[in-house]
Structure 1
Amino acid sequence: MDVTNPGKAAQFWVKLVGIVTALAGVYFVGGGAWLAWLGGSWYFVVAGLLLLISGVLLTRKRLSGAVFYGIAFVFSVIWSLWDVGLQFWPLFSRLFAPAAGAVLIAFTVPLLTKERGARLFSVTIGVLLAVAVVSSFISSFQPKGIIRNADVQSKADEAHDVAPNSGPKDWQAWAGDTKGSRFSTLSDITPDNVKDLKVAWTAHTGEAVVPDKGDAEDQNTPLQVGDSLFVCTAYTSLISYDIDSGKEKWRYTAGRGNSTYQRCRGIGYFDATRAKNVVEPGKSLDTTVSPQRLFFPTGDGRLVAIDAHTGKPAANFGDNGIVDLKIGMGEVKPGYYQQSSAPLVAGNVVIVGGRVIDNFETNEPPGVVRAYDAVTGKLVWAWDPGNPAVTREPLSPEGYTRGTPNVWVGMSYDADLGMVYLPTGNATPDFFGGERREGDEKYSSSIVAVNVSTGRPVWNFQTVHHDIWDFDATGTPLLYDIKNDDGSVTPALAETSKTGMIYLLDRRNGKPVAPIEERPVPQGNLPGERYSPTQPYSSMPGIGNETLKESDMWGATPFDQLMCRIRFKSSRYEGIFTPPGLDMALQYPGSLGGINWGGVSVDPTTNLMFVNDLRLGLYYKMVAAKDIPPGQGTSEGMGWIVQKGLPYGSLRERLMSPLGVPCQAPPFGTMSAIDLKTQKLVWQIPVGTVQDTGPLGIPVGLQMPLGMPTLGPSLATRSGLLFFAGTQDFYLRAFNSHTGAEVWKSRLPVGSQSGPITYRSEKTGKQYVVIFAGGSPHSAERGDDIIAYALPE
């Protein structure tokens, strides 16, 4: 072998390359041996040995060191193709870093030999590999894994004939209507001209959330009625703006409520001059005091009625405009109960459920749902899941039944059927159910249809039996009429779940429209727990709930991928319904979803329902209460969870690599279109880039469309557009709703978890699209921006 005698700088470089390669080999051998001992892949051991030999030889300035690296790289290519096929992001994770290392070593070879042929060969290989590395990096900016099923694409003649601009021009409910549609017939903004959409005005609430000072997030979807836009804040202010200028008209501040969970996702609107009396049919309503009013939930458990024109409390509602929702609830510790979703206005009643703090203890506040007279604030009815004898006030001095399943997400209302649809969570605490009661089991993680006049249950359907995973029914139920081939119409209800399943039911009786199969599921052995032998699997397309394999483990590099593989193989995992136990187990989808509270939107002209998701797994175990370290368990989310009053707490962490990226392969969040008639997936695209996030929480600054976890609602329009902002990068986007192609985006000052809305101004004739940008959970950047977009004059 002909070895050169390079200068000191060159010698240092060669030695440095050798040391780094050898250290990589040591890491691979050590971690790979652990993985192999767990029954996982032997690749890392073999590759590690080759890298270790390569590194040692390179430190000795041996050309054979480069040869051994080449062997390791070729072996990695062969193994990667065998492991994951031609999938871009899995291959990128496995080969990008080794390929970059191969380029480095190829250009180092001339320092190891004087032989002209070897130098020329290595430089040629280096150039080719460099081209491949650069090409793959450029390719990473193009979306991958797009699904478009042209053979099941909806046809307009099989859907509903909805004329452009034929529906309401206002946005008077959280989802645009009481049916969870998030759809507008306004059609001035189209896929062809949306590229011209510009900021028309920007307003500020003056109440940007302060990070690290209480659990506060801005997730508000505004309402718009007439010439007013109404926005609520996490710090319990309600503000009215002019819809054409963004100028503030009035402001009402209800106080900051609590510091443990501060949200205002939306408000309710009531017009007494147009409302139907559902409690006493035929009886007229009092329209003398604040006939148009807003219902505003506060963080400390109050419901406030505000005159929509003046911003003053409606004097004839409750106690000078306020109803204390804690009445009848028994003991309510600060932060243990509040509204986390918009009140539902159904006829002349306003209906509220309530968020109950997760996992702190047993005997938490009740999950009761109550309806109040929208004019007077008088309690009309109460549905207590734990006591069917309760019809209004609690029968016990202690209040309604404590610790029952609650309704913390948005509800829906069908005025024709006279039914309200309630999506429930599971009874608290979430992860142990051995002590749950009959009512807890019957109504947990369910859709419950109740009579709007009486609050009495008509039917219920359970999405998860004996839920010990926190797999709540999460979306505002979508009420949608499916046109059948024989000309009949099926009044359907679509409900999403954290499991990633979608249930399509007949909303008249709760019977499945899309087949649902009870399948056997794994059984656990935790002392004192019991298990459902089966769970309901929907035939509707599943979103982000595939059963993971070791080869699905991912990472920004092979190094953190190895740790993800070790975590996977060292944990018990048996699919969606892996039961918790005293050993470490994986949960995928995790308790964040799947599909979370943003719900869905729909385009009735194509039968397409649009669903966004997040794909974040967890690893967790149950821990005997006596073994939880003192002072731990102050969080209801990750880390130690006490579950006081139960024999077990838990330890939970997100399934992330050491670099802080999800362990399963991208996408981590998608937008999907599902045909509600054919019940097929029409298209699915990854949404969101790593521009404003990245490994170790450091924004990458690059628009690589991996598809990041999403949180927030979408908006569909008659013109064929789908607007969405709930990504981890700071954009409001518009997609062609027929194909999923992105047709426009606008940079936001911060992230958004809010739902876009659209309306037309009577004064100017303009159609606006409005988004509230307050910040995203993954980023410390916060804002208070209300941004309105419109086409140029």
Structure 2
Amino acid sequence: MEHKSISTLLKLYVRLIGIVLILSGLILAVGGGFLISYGGSFYYLPMGIALFLSGLSIFTLRSWGVVLFALAYIATVAWALWEVGLDFWPLVPRLVALTGFAALVAFAYPSIMKYRKGEKSYWGGYALGIVLLASLGVVFFQSLQTHYGYFATEKPVRKTVSNDDAPTDWQQYSNTTKGTRFSGAEQITPDNIDKLKTAWTFRTGDIPENSGAGPEDQNTPLFIDNTLFVCTPFNKVIAIEPETGKQLWKYDPKITTPNWQRCRGLAYYTPVATEINQADLANAPTMDQEKELAAPNEFAQTNVTASSDKANACGARIFMNTTDDRLVALDPATGKLCEDFGDKGVVDLKLNMGDIPPGYHGPTAPPTVAGEVVVVAGRVADNYSTGEPSGVVRAYSVHDGHLVWAWDPGNPDTKTTPADGKMYTRGSVNVWATMAYDPKLDLIYAPTGNATPDFWAGERTKYDDEFNSSIVAIEAKTGKIRWKYQTVHHDLWDYDLPSQPLLYDIPDGKGGTVPALLQTAKSGEIFMLNRETGKPLAEVVEKPVTQGNVEGERYSKTQPFSVGMPSVGNQTLKESDMWGATPFDQLWCRIEFASMDYNGLFTPPGMKKTLQWPGSLGGMNWGSVSVDPTTDYMFINDMRIGLVNWMIPRKDISPNASGIEMGVVPQSGTPFGAMRLRFMSPIGVPCQAPPYGTMRAIDLKTRQVVWKVPVGTVEDTGIMGIPMHLPAPVGMPTLGGSLSTKSGLLFFAGTQDFYLRAYDSHTGKEVWKYRLPVGSQGTPITFISPKNGKQYIVLTASGARQSPARGDYVMAWELGQ
């Protein structure tokens, strides 16, 4: 057959399309074969064969390849709609790339036909190609719209709250010790927030490195007596004039911590007007009696001059934990150490702890002031070994720093200092999250972690299993355990409790209230308990869960599911839930999913690849929740990234294994190390469909979700970590806390893009956002200046987690004219 002449350029174009289809078909066919071998979808193998054959035909300029591609494309559209319906983001990897190929094939069709049949016009191919490209334009436009969740359509009925319940300063980490993150300030409203402007910007001088396990700015400032207090990742405390951003004083403890430097917050104590009853504290040991096992430390400060004539005794005081295990008391007016507290203003938290290798222990959460004691705990370095430093919780007198009581989760018989110079129990359950305190009940609520390591627990003690992943109510005066409630039995998933509990009085439907505690968990569960008794107020059901088969491990047959409250991002995944930016990485994710052990929430780690969903980050993390008492709405942000893990026999573990973030963790002292990997595609995209982070409001009266929206865009992140500079509201992993105000606003900045956002807390609609110089992991606060009567919003911003863009900013906003 005689062929007609077409230009060399057109022939090259057609053959390049053929090559692309051949290669794409090979990838899909081979991958599809693997997927079928694991019991997965049958779509990819025949689709790959069809693309391969159509590519061969088009490469040789034969028209039947175009027909075959068209049939395959139509079949793909039908399959995609059958598998995921009209859900926008799941359709993207199934159809977008293939639609792009279809447009290229359509543009090639006239050249192929001209080559085969002469000069006859085949302009229909060009027209179809334009239509297909236009459809991609529609997809791009739709990618900038919200495709998850819903807004509330009706405004809630609001109730009045007293000023006592809604202070307009910010004296504790969550404003109060109850974990509310609510302010009664209401100058800034949804109607005038468009006038919000920056008041000032302050630079701390501490820029955290982006090393994964290094320093991070996750601070929540305090505002007390017309002074703003922030602490940097290196535990430097800075006092700032709130109206101008001018530094008033700075304290530098010169920490020596080699990793995981954070200062999430400070605590504040002011003497009560009534006489302090010291009888409750009389039986505690003196400071001299405590100095048994640890050498004294050097304490340093800059920009502060110590009193030269007599000890600097303080009335009110600010407390800070340092990550190298010190409890510091500062005079809020001067920044000087309160020399009547501890050893000239400092308590050494290494006492009776034994050997603490650098970086293995240190508080990152703020202390908790509970009446006349200040309570501290600490983080331990996960998964290095058994026998890591103790998870002891200790209470010190706010006045002189002597130890009042201690709760050693590994030895409940220890009430203060261990007997006969012994240590607190090593490797015990710890409390790394922020605690809450109810002044009326005089109870501290401690959310616990796990005995180290996380993924092997065959040799945990009875106390380890009794107290892991639990809420423990402790009497503030005595340290006595009032009650405890466990959220995960024999935890093998690092599902420790990461967040400060919310203490809130729930309407009982009879005109009264019930004292409740709400605890969010990494597992995506939300527990509502009576905080007086520890009994569930929302139904919790013990359900059977998958049992593992790792030699020497034991497994809980059931786990608690809080069915009376909404769950967040812990649905059982299916293969069709796998995602990717293209069909190729989506196929990779589907193969990975199908090849792994996974049977829903609480699938235990095993000797082969196991999927843990949610992963060890959550679910919900340390940012906790906020609440609006005028509506009884609780606001929750989450993240959704799965974890791939498997156990590795001890003989196969490298002596250099560390795995602080991801990789091989040694778990020394056990028969197994473990591999931990985020469930991501090769191009750095999470393997499940968006969203990856959300914000929602739950009505605590009805226990129903009122609204939910994705939070964060790919403007400052994207494929292979390269910012896409697109405001597509995919919903990115969140890390940080929210702020709720009486005026009906919800502020949040803990996203992967560089914005402080405000939402209408009644509907979920975004009403304002401000472009930050870098991302933030901080929690915004608000207050009213007594000097000028203005309401301010303040936030620290030094970089989103895993973002290379870093800074050292403290920023304030006020209403403009």
- The verdict on a shared fold, with TM-score over 0.5 as the criterion, is yes
Deviations 1:732-771 (A, max 9, x none): 0000101110000000111101000000001111100011
Distance in 2 (alpha carbons) for counterparts of 1:86 and 1:396 = 69
User: What SS does the aligned partner of 1:775 have?
Assistant: coil
**Partner residue of 2:330?**
306
Q: Map 1:109-258 to 2 at 5 A.
A: 109-114=109-114, 119-148=122-151, 155-156=156-157, 160-162=159-161, 167-212=166-211, 215-258=214-257
Change (3 A) 1:662 1:90: same
CA contact (8 A) 2:238 2:251 kept: yes
1:628 is matched with which residue: 646, 653, 661? 653
Distance in 1 (alpha carbons) for counterparts of 2:666 and 2:149 = 42
Distance in 1 (alpha carbons) for counterparts of 2:758 and 2:722 = 27
CA contact (8 A) 1:272 1:375 kept: no
**Matching residue's letter, 1:675:** D
User: What SS does the aligned partner of 2:808 have?
Assistant: strand
- Offset of 1:164 from its aligned partner? 8.0
Distance in 2 (alpha carbons) for counterparts of 1:278 and 1:103 = 81
**Partner residue of 1:14?**
14
Distance in 2 (alpha carbons) for counterparts of 1:544 and 1:144 = 16
User: What SS does the aligned partner of 1:578 have?
Assistant: coil
**Matching residue's letter, 1:561:** Q
Is 1:676 aligned to 2:675, yes or no? no
Distance in 1 (alpha carbons) for counterparts of 2:60 and 2:381 = 62
**Partner residue of 2:52?**
52
**Matching residue's letter, 1:576:** L
- Offset of 1:343 from its aligned partner? 0.6
- Offset of 1:583 from its aligned partner? 1.2
Q: Map 1:399-410 to 2 at 5 A.
A: 399-410=423-434
Is 1:665 aligned to 2:686, yes or no? no
Count of residue pairs the alignment pairs up: 785
**Partner residue of 2:487?**
463
Q: Compute the TM-score of the two structures, normalised by the length of structure 1.
A: 0.97
Is 1:509 aligned to 2:528, yes or no? no
Is 1:597 aligned to 2:622, yes or no? yes
Deviations 1:113-152 (A, max 9, x none): 23788723222221221221100110110111123466xx
Deviates more, 1:621-630 or 1:86-95: 621-630
Distance in 2 (alpha carbons) for counterparts of 1:276 and 1:676 = 38
CA contact (8 A) 1:430 1:468 kept: yes
Distance in 2 (alpha carbons) for counterparts of 1:64 and 1:2 = 18
**Partner residue of 1:788?**
812
- Offset of 1:21 from its aligned partner? 1.1
Change (3 A) 1:751 1:471: same
**Matching residue's letter, 2:367:** P
Deviations 1:61-101 (A, max 9, x none): 12222222212211111111111111100001211111111
Deviations 1:462-485 (A, max 9, x none): 000000110011210000001222
CA contact (8 A) 1:154 1:608 kept: no
**Matching residue's letter, 1:18:** G
Change (3 A) 1:225 1:535: same
CA contact (8 A) 1:318 1:377 kept: yes
Structure 1: state its 5+ residue gaps: none
Distance in 1 (alpha carbons) for counterparts of 2:527 and 2:78 = 42
- Offset of 1:279 from its aligned partner? 5.9
CA contact (8 A) 2:208 2:214 kept: no
1:373 is matched with which residue: 383, 386, 397? 397
CA contact (8 A) 1:276 1:348 kept: no
- Offset of 1:608 from its aligned partner? 0.6
**Matching residue's letter, 2:112:** L
Q: Map 1:252-267 to 2 at 5 A.
A: 252-267=251-266
- Offset of 1:107 from its aligned partner? 1.4
CA contact (8 A) 1:773 1:784 kept: yes
Distance in 1 (alpha carbons) for counterparts of 2:562 and 2:637 = 18
Percent of residue pairs identical? 50
CA contact (8 A) 2:107 2:125 kept: yes
Deviations 1:484-528 (A, max 9, x none): 221221000000110000000000000000000001111111111
- Offset of 1:163 from its aligned partner? 5.7
Distance in 2 (alpha carbons) for counterparts of 1:376 and 1:557 = 62
Deviates more, 1:526-535 or 1:61-70: 61-70
Distance in 2 (alpha carbons) for counterparts of 1:785 and 1:202 = 7
**Partner residue of 1:80?**
80
1:550 is matched with which residue: 575, 590, 595? 575
User: What SS does the aligned partner of 2:477 have?
Assistant: coil
**Matching residue's letter, 1:71:** L
**Partner residue of 1:577?**
602
Distance in 2 (alpha carbons) for counterparts of 1:425 and 1:122 = 63
**Partner residue of 2:67?**
67
**Matching residue's letter, 1:647:** P
Distance in 2 (alpha carbons) for counterparts of 1:51 and 1:277 = 81
CA contact (8 A) 2:319 2:330 kept: yes
**Partner residue of 1:382?**
406
User: What SS does the aligned partner of 2:214 have?
Assistant: coil
Structure 2: state its 5+ residue gaps: 283-310
User: What SS does the aligned partner of 2:13 have?
Assistant: helix
**Partner residue of 1:562?**
587
Distance in 2 (alpha carbons) for counterparts of 1:489 and 1:404 = 37
Change (3 A) 1:304 1:477: same
Change (3 A) 1:275 1:263: farther
**Matching residue's letter, 2:157:** A
Q: Compute the TM-score of the two structures, normalised by the length of structure 2.
A: 0.94
Deviations 1:185-214 (A, max 9, x none): 100001111111111110010111133496
